Structures are given as structure tokens and as C-alpha cells.
Structure 1
Amino acid sequence: MCGIAGIWGEANEELIRRMTAVISHRGPDDCGIKVFTHPDQAVSLGHRRLSIIDLSSAGHQPMTNEDETIWVVFNGEIYNFPELRKNLLATGHQFRSRTDTEVLIHGYEEWGIDFVKKLNGIFAFALWDSKRKLLQLARDRYGVKPLFYWKQGHRLLFASEIKSLLRDPNLDREVDTEALLAYVKFRYCPEPLTLFKQVRKVPPGHVMTFGVEKASSSRFYELVFCDTHAPADETALATRLRDLLFEAVRRQMISDVPVGLFLSGGVDSGGLLAMAKSFSPKPLKTFTIGFRQEDQRFEGQPDDIRYARELARRFKTDHQEIILEPKIVDLLPRVIWHLEDPIADPAGITSYLICQAARQQDTKVLLSGQGGDEVFCGYPWHLAIQLSRYYDRLPKAVRALIEKLLNKLPAAKGGPLTATFRRLRKFNNSASLEFEDRLIGFLSYAYGENLSGLLGERYAGSINAGLPERSHWELLKRSSRWHYIDRMLHLDMGTFLPSLNLAYTDKTSMAFGVEVRVPYIDNEVVDFMAGVPPELKMRGTTRKYLMKQALRGLLPAHILNRKKAGFGAPIRTWIVSDLKEMIDDLLCESNLKRRGFFEPHYVSRLIQENASGRHDYNYLIYILLSFELWCRVYLDKQTP
């Protein structure tokens, strides 16, 4: 795992060095620069290396072929590189290293850019073909590794992080309207948008090609579900899934440095631990984060610590617990600087702290359960959609009475029923809508009235035209012929997974030079699950049904059946306590007027109603706070 940067259309050693230096945290082990000065081939490439496989100098990048006509800078891991290397050796290619990077070069020589279809891994790379005068930018199937770019006339800048692009003072920092609206509604910017109007992401599963005469973008992978399913043998499918999961974990355990694991004590991380243990002769290092008891009063979910301890003892790991003390005011600006696009999910904070601890323990690689909910059907909104289908069967008068009662429930008073009341009210907001609107409603943190109140007349036309949820609707239209469970998973895989979960995971881990691997979104696992009948993904109200069958016997029953606990932080407590002073300061009327994005009186109303417990606006307030911090870091250029 590394950091890459480059300029196409300009030989600029001074700029590429600055672009590479600002992401040195991604690759503290080595640095490489290559500048091509020919007038018709002006290209600058930069690389920061995090050594994971073949720690020798043979892995130095930018890397080239024998006649120096093909050059690559690469961020990621190719898990099937041993098989590809063997095939390439058989056809006459010679290798000078044991790295997976070199497989990209010879794979391109042998098969052209279509070789990306053969890759099972997580990657973002730039490949410069000097003979054909083509620059190829490629990003993995699911968007695990980021790749940003800025096109300015006949000049292109690209990098693993936006801050590299911002080393060029000519990049305008204007905020993108659609990205802002989507961010306020969903707490992230969907692919390929960023909050910077001129900066875009290479979409997951795409190759972008830049040549002298034209630029193009092509999709090499698209997640497709089956229209119909033949009768299924549940036992056979569970056995096959178990085999695939073991094989995925085995592939992703390959490393020349120690491998550790995020351990939440739930079924996803517990399953990974059970499988990884069989491939590790030494005790695995596991990391868990917990919070003070008083910080849990609004969350309504069990603390991970107890369950993680049990699994750590069961599998004899070298276990470390991190208890988060409320130093959040100092921490948030630093996390925002690394995130670049503000992702208003407190899980980014916990990921940041775990990766910091892992690096201090000399652990460069961590396995994560990210993707388990998207692939196996495990999110609360999946259950909400299922329950709403039962709800539809009730007489209209009964539904009207229930809606009236639910609307009177307190949302943020604290106590054992707080989380239940909050979820019931969120369910109530969208349960009576059509499937697509219902699903988008369950995913939202700001509804139409909130968006209009916050953003005013200036954005009214865009809000009414559905601009905030445009990306979601495009995916839902594409999936219209599939079963509703597969449609939910398809939407998650195209929005929530790459733009929130994988985005914060990459940025917060690479902040400390830690590589996070995600076995649950291994190519073979995802392909298999796409063909599994939907009723085996969620049976009745049991989420992750087939996955739990596959893991049966590896984990205790109470872990398999444990209530889902999010990988987050007690943000609701912090909003009314530790972050209160920061909120009062940054979201005050004078500051909001100066910034010019949000209506001060409406923001004040949100804060007051949230404090009273009448409404749960905690996440919406966190969305606004994160945005203001982002503005200070990236628009006002205040280094945290």
C-alpha cells in the first residue's frame, strides 16, 4: 500500500516532489520520482512506498520494464499475483523482483489494459506507455483504493489524495453544489464527486485513458445480480461460501510484515479472526476500541470490549484495547485533514485511533470486516425495508394510528429505550413510501424540510429536482429488474461502501502507513454472493443468514446471533457534552453568515431541538460541524 501522484502533459519535477511529499504518511519507507521531458511525452510520476511484499530495493517505484517503455506507480495489493506471475513466466517474461507491482507491467505487455480484468486485489495505479503515448489510470472493482484527478486543458494531475492536487496553486477550491447537497443528506459525497468542483475520482471498476488526441473512460467491472434463481441447496451453498472465505483470508494473509486485525467482537471480525488463526503460526495482534460507560447512554448498543475480549481469549491473540477519552476537540481537525472530503461518520475517528495504535505496535497490515454488511446483507436499513413490507399489510387506519404514536416518541432523552425510540421514528419517516423513496429515506440524515431549511432559496431548485440523491437514483434505475434485497445491496456497493466505509478506512489507516485488507469483498466472494438467492441473504428478519450458516462452528452461537453494533463512536453524547463548546463556536450565527452556505436561524433551531430531546439531529449537527472544520482546513487553509 502506497501513495501515488503524477502529472500528464507537463514535466515539472518541483511540483511532483511537493505532490509526493505531502502524502509521505502513506509511504514512509521509500520515495521515487521520474520525470519525462520530451515535448510530446511530458509526464511526471511520484511514489511513496509502504513496503509489504519484497521489502528490498527491487520494489522501488516508479517501476519500469526492461526497455523502459512502460512505467507504473501503484498503490494496493494484488492477491492473485503469484498465479499471474507464474503464467507470465511461462510465456517468457522475466522478473527482477518478487513484487506484485511488476506483474502489472508484464501483464500490460502480455494482455494490454484488459489485464485489469484478471486482477483480484485492491489497487489504484497509473501506467505510462511511452510508445503509444498513453496514460492509463485504473481503480479496483469496489473502490477500496482511492484515485483523484484534476483535468486542466491538456494537463492532468492525479494522486491518491486530494491534498497532492492542491499543491498546485492554480486548482480552484470552489465547492461543488451536488456534492454538498449529497453530503448534507447522506453524510458523504457519492462517487465520482468530491466537495471540490474541479476534482473527481476515477470511478471504481474503471480505466481512464489519456492520449494526445482524446481521453476516454471505460468500465471493466460491473456488479450484476441474477434476475431469477434456481432452487438452492442451502447446505451446499453455505459450505461453498465457507471454502471461499477461507481461501480469501489465506490470500490476504500473504505479507512479509506482521498482519493484525480490527476486532469488534461481532460476527464479521470474529469470523475473520477464526479463519485467520488457521493461517498464522504466531498469535495475531488484535485491536479493539471502547468508550467510557457514561458516553454510551444515547447509543443503545452493547460495548464491543466484552465480546472482543472473549474472542481474543478464545483464539489466543495478542490483544490491545483502546479506551477513547474525550479529546475529540483536538482530534477532529486532524481527522478531517486526512479525510479530505468530510465523511461525517464517527467510525472514522475510531479507525484513526486503532490504526495509530497498530502502527505503534509495528503492525503494518490489518484485516477488516468492511464490506460484510454490503455483501451479506447486514445493515439496519435492510431490516427496516423487510419490516416495512410487513407493515404494508396492515390496514391503512392502523398504520395511520401507529404513525401518529411513533411521531410522539422522544428521540434523544437518554436511557435504555433511546435508541429504540430513535429507530422507530426514523422508520416512521419513510415506511409508507414506495420502495425506492423508502430506501433513500432510511439512508438519509437530512430530509426535504431539513435541506430546504438549511440551504434556503439558493439551492431550492436543485433540491426539488432531486440533485442530492441523483447518484442513488441512477443505481436504483439500473437495478429495477432485480429482487429488492439485491437492489439494496447493489445500491450499498455503489454508494455507501466506496464513498463512506472504504474512503474513511483508507484515509485513516494510511495516515499512519497501515494497510487495511478487506477479505469480505474479495472478487470470488462477491461474485459467488451475487448469484445466491436473496432469501438466503436475509431470511425473515435474520440478516446475513447464509454467512452465519457458513461460519457455524467457527464462532460461539451468541456471537453469531449477537445484535449488530456499529463500528462508531458515541457521537450523540459528544454533541451535547464534549463537542458542545466547539459547536456553539463554529456554528454560531456570525460564522455561518460569513461562510454563506447554511441558514443560521435554522441551524440554531436544530441545535435547540436536539438539546431538548424532541428530535434527534445529532448526526445532522455533526455533518454541519464536520463541514465547517473542512472549510477551515481546506478553504481557509488552516493546518490542524
Structure 2
Amino acid sequence: MCGICGIVDIKGNHTQNRQFVEAMTSQLFHRGPNFKSTITKNPAILGHTRLSVIDTSSHANQPIVSTDGRYTLVFNGEIYNFMKLREQLRGRGYNFRTYSDTEVLLNTYQEYGHDCVSSLEGMFAFAIWDSLKEELFLTRDRYGQKPLFYAHVKNRITFSSELNSLLQDKLIRKEPNFNAIYHFLTVQSVPAPLCAFKGVEKLKSAQCVVFKKNGQLKKWTYYTPQFTSSFKGTTEEAVEELDYRLQNAIKTHLVSDVPLGLFLSGGVDSSLITAMATKRHGKMHSFSMGFAEQAYDESVYAREVANICGTKHFERIASPNILNLLPRLVKHYGEPFADSSAIPTWLLSEMTSKHVTVALSGDGGDDLFGGYERYLNPFLYPVGCNTNNHLNALSWQLKQELPPCQKNNPLCFGTIKYHFHWARFCGTRKINLCSDPLKNEALKGSTLSLMLDHFQQNRSGLLLDKIQEFEFEYYLASTLMTKVDIASMGNSLEVRSPFLDNSVADFAFSLPEKMRVCKSSSSNFNNGFETKVLLKKVAEKYLPKNIIYRRKMGFGIPLAKWFREELKDFAYDLFLSKSFQDRNWVSPEMTLKLLDEHIENEAEHHYGLWALMMLELWAKEFIDG
């Protein structure tokens, strides 16, 4: 795992650009503390920092240049099928100087060009400079596990793994993008291709970008996830097939020349990965976070799984004394980011990195197999349902964000409860909160409108399919993968997600709805519905039922309590500060009203307050600073 960056400037000052790229590379050192280097191939200047994982020798350092000198690669990630590709390329006459997946990737591109992405299985973001065509190729993996930002102006493009690095290019101005911030207030992160800074974009999942020598950009998407319900076999056949594919994914994800460990929360997903990994690999280290507040603490289950699997287990208790950590989080994320589980993810990564360089996680299990409680909304509130007075009123409020042409959309009511469950701010509440610069962005398209557009373009007739596919782009990539990448790489730790293996994901997309979510007479939770139906049946082969069939807890923190206690004074000081009042992106009066109501136990506003807090801290760090 690594950090990548670079500038291609057709008509620019190459001496100045070299200085920018050197500064950009230095800003990525936490992503790759083992080696740092830049290379000049005018008009391209590329930088790389290396966290050595596969072939730790200096021969595998980057940037790497093809034997004919035409192609230069900087690569962040892992290619899990690199050994298979290596043998295929050997058969085509390629020789190899290293045992790294980096050289395999370079030769794969040399053989197949832009189409190489279709043959890659892994998590990646990479850039390749073609000195013959004088063009730069950028791309990102299927599910957005590895980030890539870029800024393009006429004959110049700058790219980097992180915003702090990108902003070392002093020609990029730190101006807030109110359209991005408007959507952030609903979805807790800035969804790609938007960025919190004007003039900067993120590559979307599975997107390719080519910067040509005439300064033009060409963009396309090489893969789109789609649920098909094409699997027609029995449940027993599905269990065996998923088990087989997961075993193969675990096998490839365990390939490493440095120590590996396991993120173990005690939930179904991480517990299943732990059980399968230790069965194949033998004794491993496992790591978990605990909380003093019992309602959020899964450590007892993590310890039970660790004992069953025979891991050497490490545990850390999260403290509400997080004020010293907040500035680091704000700076590392680079954009306003309001998933509060970034805190325990950072603390977990910090502890894990002291013992291993790579950790396997259970990320992606909920997203693929239907694990979130919000996925129940299509069953509880189906399209056409209009019998719930509370939801009718809520529907009217949310529809105020929509343009007239969408207010009678038949999908609208069916998405309302899901949207409300998922959103931080929405509807009239969001409109009243936002000041004019943000409110004007609603005219370009509300977040609910964006969701409905996505749902209408989806060809599936199932609302669950529409929701899961929407979340692959707007939650999995923009929030979950961003959270894990920044928190882990900020601590020089690589995190791998076997559930997001191409083969496992492809099979999940083929599953009918009943193998993801269904009514169950044995379920004591979720209004009698069972989530992750098939995955839990696979887990029965490895884990006791008390681990599998218990209420889902997630990886949250006791934020509501913390706002009433340890964070209270800090929140009041922040929202009463002159900078917040003068900025006036959101209503100071409404913000303080939300805080007052929360402190007095009149309402639960902690998620919204956290979003507003992280937005203001970001503005103080990046806009004021």
C-alpha cells in the first residue's frame, strides 16, 4: 500500500512543478514510510511513497519504468491475482525483474492498454504516464477502496491519493465547493466525483480518466455493480458456492511478505473472516475496540471469537477524551467527514499498526449481502404504501427539496423512510438550516432528487436492489472505504476486505432478494425480518449461533452521551465562536437550538450536530488556515 501523486503540465514551469511534487510526496509519507521517490519524465513528474508488503526488496520500489522506457507507473493498492497474471504474461514473452504485483500491473498495462482494468482483481488507484503518446492514465478499483483526487485546468493536471498532498500544488485554490457541502449535510461525506474544494474532483469507483497532450480529458466507467437475481439454485447450493468463493478470496488476501492480522469487532462479518483466515493461515493476531458504555461494546463477543479461533487478541477501550484526536482526523480526511466511527477506526488502526502491517476486515459484508437495518424499509414501507400518517407528513417535508417534476414520482414515498433513516439533514429541516450559498445549491438538485434519479435509471424492479446499488456509490465508496483508507493509512497500515473480492461480489449480485433479506419466524429483531440470510448460513459452518443471530450493533460510538457530557463545552464554544457566526454557511441560531434540545434531552440530534461540528472544524483548518 502506498501514496501516489504527480503533475503533468504541457506548457508549465517544470522546475516549479518538481518542487510541488516533492512537497506532495512528502505529505504522503504516512502512507508509505519505507521509501519515497519522485521521477521526472517531462512534462510529467510523478511521486510515490511505499509501504512495503509484496516483495519488500528495493527492486520493487516505485516509480517503476517499463523496460523500453515508454511507461512510468505509480501504484497504490494490491493486485490479488498478480501471480495468475504473471504466468499469463510470461507466456506472452514478458520477463520480470521483481516478484511484486507492481511490475505485473505495469506489464499488464503494456500488453492490454486501458482495457487492463478488466483483468485486475484487487484494490487500487494508479497512474501511468505514456511518454510516446504523451498521455496520463488514471483509474480506481471497482468499489472505491483506494482514493484518487485530481485537479484539471486546461493543459495541466495534478493528482494525489490525498487532498493534503494535492493542495501542495499552490496553483490549486482552497475555495469551498458549496454543492459538495450541501450534499455532505445529508450523506455525511462528499460523494464522488464531487470534492469539498472547487476545481478538484475525485475519481468515481471503477472510473478511468485519460489526460491527453492537447489538454483534454476523456472519462469512462469500466464496471457498474448490478443485482440480477440470476442465481436459481437451492439455498444449500448457494451456501456451498459462497463458502468456496470466500475461501478463495481469503487465500489471495493472505498473500503478504509482512505480518498480517485481523480486525475483529465480534460482529458476523469480521468474525467469519477471522474464522476462515485462521483456519487457512493458522494462529494470527486479532484486534478490537471496546467501549465503557455497554450498549456500544462488542468486545465480549470479539473475545469469544478470538478464543474459538485461537488468535492472540489485543483490545483497546475508546475514551470520550477525543478532543486531541479531532484536529488530526480533520486534517487527514481533508474534506468534511461526519462518520463518527472514524474515531474508533483510527484508534483501532493505531493499535494494530504496532504489531502488523496488514489487517483483514469484514467491510463490504453488509453492503453486498443486505446487512443494514435500513434495507428493511422496502419491506416495511413498499412503493405505493400511504397508510402511515407520520410518513405522509415526513414525505411532504422531504418533497420540498424536490423540483415540481419529481414531487409525484411513484418511487418517492417508497424511498422516504430509507432516506430519512440514512440522512443527517433533509427536507425542510435542511432548507431552514442552510444559508443562501448552500440553499442555492438545492436549485442544482437536492440529495433526494439525486437519489430518485439514480433509482429511476436502475433497471431492477426491486427497491432493495435500487437501494443497495445506490449505496455502493454513495455510501460504500464515499463513506465506508474513505473512513477505512484514511484511518488505516494515516497509521501506515494496509487493510484488505475479502468480501469485496471480485468473485465474491459477483456472486452476491446474483442472489435473489430472499437470500439477502426475508421474513423469518425465528428472528427476534428487525420486525421479524432476517438480514444477511445467506451469509449467516455460511457463518454457521464456522461460528456458534449466539455470535451470528444477535442484534446488529455496528461500529458506532456513544455520541449522544458524549455531546451531553465531555463534548458539551467544546460544542458550545465552537458554535458560539466568531468564525462560525461570521461564516454563516448554516444558521447559527438553528445550530444552537439543536444543541440546546439535545443537551436538555428534548431530542436526539447527535448525528446532525457531529456533521456540523466536523464541517466547521474543516473550514477552520482549510479555509481559514
> Structure 2 residue aligned with 1:538, among 489, 514, 517?
517
CA change 1:254–1:401 in 2 (3 A) is closer
1:558 match: 546
Residue 636 of structure 1 and its aligned partner are, at CA, apart by 2.3
Aligned 8 A contact 1:182 1:469 in 2: no
Determine the structure 2 residue equivalent to 1:616: 604
Residues 133 and 212, structure 1, Cα contact 8 Å, conserved in 2: yes
Residue 23 (str. 1) matches residue 28 (str. 2): yes
Given the alignment of the two structures, is residue 635 of structure 1 paired with residue 623 of structure 2, yes or no? yes
Alignment correspondent of 1:526: 505
Partner Cα distance (2:622, 2:449) in 1? 26
Contact 2:21 2:169 in 1 (8 A): no
Output the CA distance in 2 between the equivalents of 1:269 and 1:632.
36
* 1:31/1:47 contact within 8 Å kept: yes
| Superposed displacement of residue 232, structure 1 | 3.3
Whole-angstrom CA distance in 2 between matches of 1:508 and 1:357: 11
Structure 1, residues 26-74: CA drift from partner, whole Å, max 9, x if none? 000001110123xxxx010000000000000111100011121111000
Give the structure 2 partner of residue 371 of structure 1. Answer: 364
- Cα RMSD for the two superposed structures: 2.1
- Equivalent residues of 2:37, 2:48 under 8 A apart: yes
Counterpart in the other structure of 2:495: 516
Matched residues in 1 for 2:417 and 2:320: separation? Answer: 36
1:113 positional shift: 1.4
Letter in 1 for 2:319: E
Q: Percent identity at matched positions?
A: 33
Letter in 2 for 1:136: F
1:220 to 222, 245, 249: 222
* Equivalent residue for 1:577, pick from 565, 578, 583: 565
- The gaps in structure 2 that reach 5 residues or longer are 394-410, 520-528
Structure 1 residues 471 and 121: alpha-carbon distance in aligned structure 2, compared to 1, 3 A threshold: farther
Write the letter of the residue equivalent to 1:618: H
Say if 1:47 and 1:73, in contact at 8 Å, map to a contact too: yes
2:382–2:414 contact (8 Å) kept in structure 1: no
Q: Secondary structure at the match of 2:280?
A: coil
How far off is 1:170 after superposition? 2.2
1:206 matched residue in structure 2: 207
- Per-residue deviation at 1:212? 1.2
Could you tell me which residue of structure 2 aligns to residue 347 of structure 1? 341
Residue 452 of structure 2 is aligned to residue 473 of structure 1: yes
Aligned-residue offset at 1:553: 2.0
Query: What is the CA–CA distance in structure 1 between the aligned matches of 2:174 and 2:326, rounded to whole Å?
Result: 21
User: Once the 2 structures are TM-superposed, how far is the Cα of residue 462 of structure 1 from its aligned partner?
Assistant: 3.2
Match of residue 303 from structure 2: 309
Listed one character per residue, the Cα deviations across residues 260-288 of structure 1 (whole Å, up to 9, x for unaligned) are: 1111101000000010012213x211111
**1:255 aligns to what SS in structure 2?**
coil
Stretches of structure 1 that go unaligned for 5 or more consecutive residues are 405-431
> Contact 1:246–1:275 (CA<8 Å) still a contact in 2?
yes
**Given the alignment, which residue of 477, 485, 502 partners 2:481?**
502
Inter-CA distance 561–28: structure 2 relative to 1 (3 Å threshold): same
1:130 and 2:131 are equivalent in the alignment: yes
Contact persistence 2:363–2:499 (CA under 8 A): yes
Partner of 2:434: 455
- Map Cα deviations across residues 147-183 of structure 1 (whole Å, 9 max, x no partner): 0001122111000001111112221111112211111
Asked if the contact 2:385–2:413 (Cα under 8 Å) also holds between the matched residues in 1, the reply is no
**Could you tell which deviates more after superposition, 561-570 or 23-32?**
561-570
Task: Indicate yes or no: 2:281 matched with 1:287.
Answer: no
Note if contact 2:149-2:200 (Cα within 8 Å) is conserved in structure 1: yes
Residues 231 and 510 in structure 2, CA contact (< 8 A), matched pair in contact too: no
Q: Which residue of 1 aligns with 2:152?
A: 151
Matches for 1:57-76 after TM superposition, within 5 Å: 57-76=58-77
What amino acid maps onto 1:286 in structure 2? S
1:84-233 to structure 2, matched below 5 A, reads: 84-213=85-214, 214-226=216-228, 229=230, 231-233=232-234
**CA separation of 1:111/1:618 partners in 2, compared to 1, >3 Å: closer, same or farther?**
same
* Aligned-partner SS, 2:487: helix
CA distance in 2, matches of 1:460, 1:134: 39
How has the CA–CA distance of structure 1 residues 50 and 230 changed in structure 2, closer, same or farther, with 3 Å as cutoff?
closer
1-side partners of 2:570 and 2:517: how far apart?
42
In structure 2, relative to structure 1, the CA distance for the partners of 1:390 and 1:72 (3 Å cut) is closer
Choose the corresponding residue for 1:436, options 415, 421, 436. 415
SS of the counterpart of 1:151? strand
**Counterpart contact for 1:287–1:319, Cα < 8 Å:** yes
3-state SS, counterpart of residue 328 of structure 1: coil
Q: Report if the CA contact (8 A) 1:267-1:562 is conserved.
A: no
Offset at residue 229 of structure 1 (A): 4.3
Taking the aligned partners of 1:461 and 1:15, their CA distance within structure 2 comes to: 35
- The one-letter amino acid paired with 1:221 is Y
Cα pair 1:592 1:599 within 8 Å, conserved: no
Question: What is the CA distance between 1:104 and its match in structure 2?
Answer: 1.4
Does the 8 Å contact 1:589/1:600 carry over to 2?
Answer: no
Instruction: Write the letter of the residue equivalent to 1:500.
Output: T
> Residue 435 of structure 1 aligns to a residue in which SS?
helix
| Structure 2 residue 575 is the aligned partner of structure 1 residue 590 | no
- Residues 374-425 of structure 1: per-residue CA shift (max 9 Å, x gap): 10001120123322349949xx4xx448999xxxxxxxxxxxxxxxxxxxxx
2:385/2:414 contact within 8 Å kept: no
Q: Secondary structure at the match of 1:495?
A: helix
Q: Give the Cα–Cα distance (whole angstroms) in 2 for the partners of residues 448 and 456 of structure 1.
A: 14
Q: Is the 2:176–2:623 contact (alpha carbons within 8 Å) kept by the matching residues of 1?
A: no
Distance 1:23 1:471 in 2: 33
The equivalent residue for 2:243 is 242
Query: Cα–Cα, structure 1 residues 216 and 583, in superposed 2: closer, same or farther, change >3 Å?
Result: same
User: How far 1:570 sits from its partner (Å)?
Assistant: 1.3
CA gap of 1:458–1:60, structure 2 versus 1, over 3 A, is closer
**Map of 1:275 onto structure 2:** 276
CA contact (8 A) 1:223 1:490 kept: yes
Contact kept, 8 Å, 1:589 with 1:601, in 2: the verdict is: no
- What SS does the aligned partner of 1:188 have? coil
| Alignment correspondent of 1:418 | none
State the TM-score, normalized to the length of structure 1. Answer: 0.90
Distance 1:275 1:230, change over 3 A: closer
Could you tell me how far 1:596 is from its partner in structure 2? 2.5
Match of 1:45 in 2: 46
Residues 97 and 482 from structure 1, CA distance in 2 versus in 1: closer, same or farther, beyond 3 angstroms? farther
Task: State the AA in 1 paired with 2:376.
Answer: L
Distance 1:466 1:380 in 2: 27
CA distance in structure 1 between the partners assigned to 2:154 and 2:530 by the alignment: 53
CA distance in 1, matches of 2:130, 2:96: 19
Match of 1:61, SS state, is coil
Partner of 2:469 in structure 1? 490
- Residue type of the partner of 1:246? Q
Q: Partner letter of residue 323 of structure 1?
A: I
Deviation readout 1:324-377 (Å, 9 max, x if unpaired): 12221111111111111122111101110111111122x110111111111000
- The 1-side partners of 2:485 and 2:231 are apart by 38
Displacement of 1:589: 5.9
Q: Corresponding residue for 2:373?
A: 380
**8 Å Cα contact 2:65/2:73 also seen in 1:** yes
2:407 paired residue number: none
Q: Which amino acid aligns with 1:633?
A: E
Give the whole-Å Cα distance in 1 for the aligned partners of 2:240 and 2:212: 48
Change (3 A) 1:326 1:466: same
Which letter maps to 2:301?
A: Y
Deviations 1:111-130 (A, max 9, x none): 11101100000000000111
Q: Deviation of residue 6 (structure 1)?
A: 0.3
Asked if structure 2 preserves the Cα contact closer than 8 Å seen for 1:74 and 1:123, the reply is yes
Instruction: Read off the aligned partner of 1:530 and give its amino acid letter.
Output: F
1:290 corresponds to which letter in structure 2?
G
**Match in the other structure for 1:409:** none
The AA in structure 1 aligned to 2:291 is F
Provide the C-alpha distance between the structure 2 equivalents of 1:558 and 1:466, rounded to a whole number of angstroms: 45
